[in-house]
Amino acid sequence: PLGVDVRDVEFTYDGGTPALRRTSLSVAPGEHVGISGPSGAGKTTLARLLLRLWVPDSGTITFASGDGRTVDSWALPEPSFRRMVTLVEQDSPVFHGSVLDNMHLADPAATEEDVLDALDRAGLPLGGKRWTSGVDTLIGEQGMSLSGGERARFCLARALLLKPKLLVLDETTASLDAASERALLDAVSRLAGETTVITISHRESTLAACDRRVQLGV
Ligand code: ADP
Ligand code: ADP
């Protein structure tokens, strides 16, 4: 698992007011940290900075491996970075085609066994349900036909396929019913120690599953 140290990070969107003001935050390797804060506090901005989708105006983001080595976020080459740090958003896109097709978009080299393993780890086990298309496993099902809860776990599975060392969940449970939220959080808790998890949420029941909480924008 990968720890992360966010140090004095500032970020302003073009023409906007500051979205993050001198924000610092440290997450140890293997930890599961919850991030809360009012709407507009910069939580999604922080997630996108962690993912290198935006560049901080100032400050640093440093990753730390379990053996204590640290590396500046921008020093990592793009292909390995994209596998190391993954993001699941509230509405991560699901594309036309089967679940297997969607998985191959994330990792063309993934075998069917890899895909079934990722689905299992995300709480969508082989043979867990008989799918409408008549297949025994989820992989042949149309990605777009999944229910909201299945879709959220599918998006988690797609992220897990890449074997991330740091997983960022941005309001992934926001639109889920309690049972689907539970199923997703159970899968996340099974990652303990193996993957560092940063969970952004405004939902008390989701934050309660984290080891520790950090509040932004206060
Ligand atoms: P949160 O996730 O805590 O609700 P955000 O990171 O989405 O906060 O937003 C922080 C601030 O940045 C808000 O003032 C928001 O309006 C602004 N903002 C977010 N995304 C953009 C964008 N793409 N362009 C301009 N301003 C943005
Ligand atoms: P290149 O591949 O051309 O060498 P980099 O991958 O180093 O470029 O950087 C890509 C972008 O990230 C550039 O906009 C650069 O300004 C920015 N950047 C590079 N290093 C850092 C850093 N340490 N902190 C913040 N931004 C950085």
Ligand 1 pocket member 123 (CB < 6 A): no
What interhelical angle do 148-160 and 112-121 show, nearest 10?
120
Q: How many CA atoms lie within 13 A of 216 on its CB side?
A: 31
**Closest residue CA from atom 5 of ligand 1:** 42
Pocket test for ligand 1, best of 13, 14, 91 (most atoms within 8 A of CB): 13
pTM: 0.89
Cα–Cα distance, 71 to 59 (Å, whole number): 14
pLDDT per position as a tens digit, 67-93:
889 999 999 999 999 999 999 999 899
Instruction: Please identify which residue in the block is written with the tokens 């988690």.
Output: 156
pLDDT at 138: 82
pLDDT at 126: 72
What ipTM was assigned to the predicted interfaces of this complex?
0.72
Cα–Cα distance, 112 to 118 (Å, whole number): 10
Q: Which of 198, 106, 195, 174 is nearest to 143 (CA)?
A: 106
Residue 7 has pLDDT above 60, yes or no: yes
Cα–Cα distance, 23 to 15 (Å, whole number): 20
User: 139 pLDDT band (50/70/90 cuts)?
Assistant: confident
In this structure, what DSSP letter does residue 96 have?
S
pLDDT per position as a tens digit, 179-206:
999 999 999 999 998 999 999 999 999 9
Q: Are 154 and 124 in contact (CB under 8 A)?
A: yes
- Identify the nearest ligand to the CA of 44 by its number: 1
pLDDT at 65: 87
pLDDT at 127: 61
pLDDT per position as a tens digit, 159-172:
999 999 999 999 99
List, in sequence order, every residue forming a beta bridge with 5; answer none if it has no partner.
26, 62
pLDDT per position as a tens digit, 105-138:
999 999 999 999 999 999 997 766 655 555 567 8
Determine what percent of the chain is predicted with pLDDT higher than 90. Answer: 86
pLDDT at 136: 64
The tokens for 22 are: 């001198």
Ligand 1 pocket member 20 (CB < 6 A): no
Query: Which residues lie below 8 Å from residue 91, measured CB to CB, with a gap of 6+?
Result: none
Ligand 1 pocket member 40 (CB < 6 A): yes
